[in-house]
Structure 1
Amino acid sequence: MPANTVREDIRTFLTSRRARLTPKEAGLPEYGGRRQVSGLRRSEVAQLAAISVEYYTRLERGNVRGVSEEILDSLAAALKLDDVERAHLMALVRAANAPRRSSDRAGGAFRVRNSVQQILDSMTGAAAFARNAHLDVLATNQLARALYEAALDTTEQPPNLARFVFLDPRARHFYRDWDRIAHDAVGSLRTEAARTPGNTDLADLIDELATHSDEFAMRWNEHEVEYYRSGQQRFHHSAVGDLDLDYDALEIPADPGLTIVTYTLAPDSAHAAAFLQLRKHRSASAEPSPP
C-alpha cells in the first residue's frame, strides 16, 4: 500500500469516526442552531483529545509522523473507538511511519502443516476449517466440507470466503444473516490491509471484489473494521435446513495469519436434529481437503 494511500485511509477513518459522534454522545454541551457538519467538529475532537485544532487537523490529513502513543490513546478515547478500531488506527499509523517495502504477502495463501490437518480431522463433532487472513479456506474436516459445500464448490483454489459472500448468489441463501457476514468479511479484510500495507495479494483481492461487487465497494468505503472471534452464525443448508451454530476462531501462534474456525452446537439445541443430519450428509462430501 503506497504511503499516500495509507494517509488517505487515516483521513477517511478519522473523519468517518468523527462524523458518527454527536456532541451529546461525546459528553459536550449542545448549543442551539443548525450545525454545518455531521457529527463532531474538528475543534471538538481536539478539545476532547486535549490537543490543538491545528495538530488534530494535521493528524486527520494523514500526517502522523512522530505522533506519540499517548496522543493516539487520547484521540481514540475522544472518538470512542473500540478495541478493534483503536488497534486499526495504530496499525495505520505504523504503516505510515514504516520504511517503504516493495511487497508483503503475510497472511496470504500457503499450505497447512500435516499436524494442523490432523487437528481438524480429530474434531469429529465439530465443523472446522483453517483459513488465512485473506479468508482463503486452506483445509477442512469432513463436517466442514458438508457445511460449506456451496462455498467450496468453485474453480478458484483455494476457495475464498469473501469471493463467495460477494460474488456468488448462493451466499445470500446460505447465510441467513448475510448482512452481518458481509460486514464481518469486509471488516476483517480492512483490518488485515492496515496490518500488512505492502500486501500485494490482498490488494489484488480487494480490487477484484470492488470491481465486481458494488456492495463490497460501498462497504469498503465505510472503513469498518472487525475481528472475527466468537459468536453465533445462522445458516440455511440446502440439504438439512436451518442451522444456528456457535463459532470460535482459534489463532495458531506457530503459523502467523492462520486461524482454525470451529462450529459446534449444544446437544439440546433446537437445531440438534439438523446438525445430526449434516453429520450424516458429510459422507457425500468426503472428498479430500482443498489444496
Structure 2
Amino acid sequence: MDNRTEVREFLSTRRAKISPEQAGVPLYGRRRVPGLRREEVARLAGVSTDYYTRLEKGNLSGASDSVLHGIAEALRLDEAERAHLFDLARAARAGGREPRRRPQPSVRPSIQRILDSMTTTAAFVRNGRLDVLASNALCRALYAPVFDDPSRAPNLARFNFLDPRSRDFYPDWEGSANTTVSILRTEAGRDPYDRALTELVGELATRSEAFRTRWAAHDVRLHRTGVKHFHHPVVGDLDVAFDAMELPAEPGLTLTAYTADPGTAAEEKFALLASWAATEERAAAVDG
C-alpha cells in the first residue's frame, strides 16, 4: 500500500469531518469544501499552511511527534485515529519497501489449551487480517457458517463481504461490515508491507462494492469490548458480550472471548450450542 496516498486520504477525510463550529473557527463567507480548510487546520496545529499542505499531500516522513500531536488535536482525532496517524508516520520514516509475505504465526499449544478450557465461553485467536488461527468448540459452534468450508482457513472479513449468509448471520450487518473494514484499515496502517493483507484487501475490493465504499472512508477503530449480535441457524437471535485482548507474547495476535450474562436467554442458548457442538464433534469422530 502506498504510504503517501494513505496519508493524503486519511488526513483529507478527517479534515472533511470536522466542522468549523466543532473546531471553534469563525465563519466568513461561503465555504466551497466540507469541514475545515487546510489553513484552518494549520493554524489550529501551530504550523504554517505550506507545511501542513505538504504533510497532507503525503510527505509525513519529517514530521516530529509534537507536530503530529498538534495535527491530532486540530482534527479532533480519537484514540484509534491518533494511533493510526503515528503508524502512518512511522511507515513514512521507514521509507518505501516492497510488500513481503510473512510466515503464518502459529498458536502455541498452551494457548489452545486455554481456549479449550473455556467451556462456557466462545473464544478464538485471530491476526490483524482477521484470519481465525485457533478456536474452541463453542466458538466453532457459534461461528458455524464461517467454519464450514474445510478447504480454506476461516477469515471473518471474507465471510462478512463475500458470503451472502453473513447478512442473515449478523442482524446488524452494516455495523459488522464497518467494524471489519476499520480493523483491516487499522492493521494496514500498523503493517503496510504485509503482502497477505494487501492481497486480501485487493480481493475484497475487487469482489465487493460494499467493501470498496467503506475502505475509501479511511475509518479506523480499536475493537476491544462491546456487544455482538448474531442470528444463529440453530439457536436464533443471540446477544453476547465480547472482550478482545492482545497476546503480549504473540505480537499481532488477539484473543477474543464471547460471554453471556448469567440468567439470560443468551446463557441458555450458549448451553444449547455447547450441547449441539459436542454432538456434532462426536458424529464427526465416528464418520472419521
TM-score (norm. length: structure 2): 0.94
CA distance in 2, matches of 1:285, 1:40: 57
1:127 pairs with 2:122? yes
RMSD of aligned alpha carbons: 1.5
Instruction: Identify the match of residue 18 of structure 1 among 15, 20, 27.
Output: 15
CA distance in 2, matches of 1:285, 1:138: 21
- 1:191 match: 186
Q: Any idea what SS the aligned residue of 1:271 has?
A: helix
Instruction: Identify the match of residue 101 of structure 1 among 87, 97, 100.
Output: 97
- 2:84 match: 88
Between Structure 1 and Structure 2, how many residues are aligned?
283
Gap change, CA 1:285 and 1:146, over 3 Å in 2 = farther
1:276-291 equivalences in 2 (<5 Å): 276-286=271-281
Identity of aligned residues (%): 51
Gap change, CA 1:228 and 1:160, over 3 Å in 2 = same
CA distance in 2, matches of 1:94, 1:44: 25
Instruction: Identify the match of residue 271 of structure 1 among 251, 256, 266.
Output: 266
**CA-to-partner distance for each residue in 1:13-37, whole Å, 9 max, x for gaps?**
0110111111001111223x32111
TM-score (norm. length: structure 1): 0.93
Instruction: Identify the match of residue 62 of structure 2 among 66, 90, 100.
Output: 66
Displacement of 1:97: 1.4
**Preserved CA contact (<8 Å) 1:248 1:262:** yes
CA distance in 1, matches of 2:109, 2:46: 53
1:158-197 equivalences in 2 (<5 Å): 158-197=153-192
CA distance in 2, matches of 1:285, 1:84: 40
Structure 1 unmatched ranges of 5 or more: none
Instruction: Identify the match of residue 57 of structure 1 among 53, 66, 78.
Output: 53
**Preserved CA contact (<8 Å) 2:107 2:134:** yes
Displacement of 1:273: 2.4
Structure 2 unmatched ranges of 5 or more: none
**Preserved CA contact (<8 Å) 1:149 1:285:** no
Q: Structure 1 counterpart of 2:111, which letter?
A: V
Displacement of 1:276: 2.2
Q: Structure 1 counterpart of 2:148, which letter?
A: D
